[in-house]
A = this chain, B = another copy of it.
Amino acid sequence: MLANTPSPPYYAVIFSSVRTDDEAGYAATAQRMLDLAAVQPGFLGAESARNEIGITVSYWKDLDSIRQWKAHADHQIAQELGIKKWYSAYQVRICRVERAYTF
Contacts and interface: CB of A to CB of B under 8 A. Distances in A.
A81 interface: no
Given A50-B49, A52-B49, A96-B95, A57 B14 contact: yes
Copy number in the complex reads 2
Contacts of A47: 16, 53, 55
A101 to B, nearest CB: 5
Contacts of A8: 93
18 contacts: A1-B52, A2-B89, A2-B91, A3-B16, A5-B93, A8-B93, A12-B14, A12-B95, A16-B47, A47-B53, A47-B55, A49-B49, A51-B51, A55-B55, A90-B102, A91-B101, A92-B100, A92-B102
Interface of A: 1-3, 5, 8, 12, 14, 16-18, 47-55, 57, 83, 87, 89-103
